[in-house]
Amino acid sequence: MKLSDLKIIVTGGAGGMGRHFALRLAEAGAQVAIGDVNEAGLAETVALATGPGKVHAKTLNVADEAEVGAFVAWANGAMGGLNGLINNAGILRDGLLVRKDRETGAVKKLTKDQWDAVIGVNLTGATLMVRDVVATMVETGQKPGVIVNMSSVARHGNRGQSNYAAAKSALAANTVTWCREFAPFGIRVGAVAPGMVETPMTQGMNQKARDALVAAIPVARIGLPEDLWLAVKFVLECDYFNGRTIDVDGGLTM
């Protein structure tokens, strides 16, 4: 698809990669609807937008089914249609599933709240977005359509990220599932799996762990949102790309 033909939702659009994707799309002439729980960040993204396209913004908690349905209906109306989704919203609640405290010897476990929060946003929320966006496209007869799921190289497994790895591996697997299910509707589904990328989420990591990860990247630097945009842009534009995940990780093996 041509970027200028897109009427596309970007979740997690208040900052980081989501903001970068939204701004790039607007520069290319697309209509973009961004959602996030951070209302101030959404306003900043809208203020930064330039180009022939337009960025529309509304608060959104993707883990809330009612909010997802209302947001998708709003986006469809605001943009005069809907033919794309970048499933970007995500959170981290890292922790070892079971660990032993070095000082007290006490055994500690990953809490169910940590598990539920990440699964709720990164998997359930992403799935709800896909479901309601595709349902809207089918109901309105809009095609072709395209969905980009933001997975992660952590989908292969990563220490301290049982919840995150579970969510991101499921997204990669369902990218294949959904490409097959939605083919009759003229909708493609692809995924992009970032490695270590400079975003507010990764800036909040433990510094020692962050430094160790960056040191392990063969290209010798952390990724930038623009690096990921190049992959997302490919998925959006290449009509023969479907049901696959692109790793953009600088060669990092986790």
Question: Taking a C-beta distance cutoff of 8 angstroms, is the pair 148, 87 a contact?
Answer: yes
Distance from C-alpha of 149 to C-alpha of 131, rounded to nearest angstrom: 13
Catalytically annotated residue among 21, 164, 182, 229: 164
Catalytic-residue membership of 240: no
Indicate left, alpha or beta for 162 from its phi (over 0: left) and psi (-120 to 50: alpha): alpha
Give which of 234, 238, 209, 37 is closest to 246, Cα–Cα: 234
CB atoms within 10 A of CB 92: 19
- 139, HSE (Cβ side, Cα atoms, 13 Å): 11
What is the dihedral sign for C-alpha 73, 80, 7, 40? negative
69 Cα distance to chain centroid? 18
CA–CA gap between residue 235 and residue 104 (Å, rounded): 50
Catalytic residues: 164
